[in-house]
């Protein structure tokens, strides 16, 4: 499909991130695969306050995401404009 997969490290954690548009083209899907992530890992998603984040693979508390235990190494986050 010609879309890039970003590969980077955060400390000892290897991250693969792929960004695609939603089918309705109103948001972005960010798919993450993590290797070497510690138990209880949390990620902070920053933005201007105009972005809404959702995921069925974990819980958002504000902009802090905690993946479900069974999804800690691979999850998807939806980003859409919203309040």
Q: What is the pLDDT of residues 60-81, one digit of tens each?
A: 998 899 999 999 999 999 999 8
Q: How far apart are CA 67 and CA 30, in angstroms?
A: 13
Tens-level pLDDT at each residue, the chain (83 residues): 778 999 999 999 999 999 999 999 999 999 999 999 998 999 999 876 788 899 999 999 988 999 999 999 999 999 998 75
CB 15 within 8 A of CB 33: yes
If one counts every other C-beta atom within 10 angstroms of the C-beta of residue 32, the result is: 21
pTM above 0.75, yes or no: yes
CB 67 within 8 A of CB 58: yes
Report pLDDT for 81: 85
């Amino acid at each position: 499909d010609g879309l890039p997969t970003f590969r980077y490290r955060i400390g000892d954690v290897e991250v693969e991130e792929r960004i695609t548009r939603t089918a309705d083209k109103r948001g972005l899907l960010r798919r993450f695969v993590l290797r070497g992530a510690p138990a209880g890992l949390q990620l902070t998603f920053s933005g201007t306050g105009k972005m809404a984040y959702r995921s069925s693979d974990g819980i958002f508390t504000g902009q802090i995401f905690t993946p479900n235990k069974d999804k800690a190494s691979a999850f998807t986050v939806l980003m859409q404009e919203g309040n």
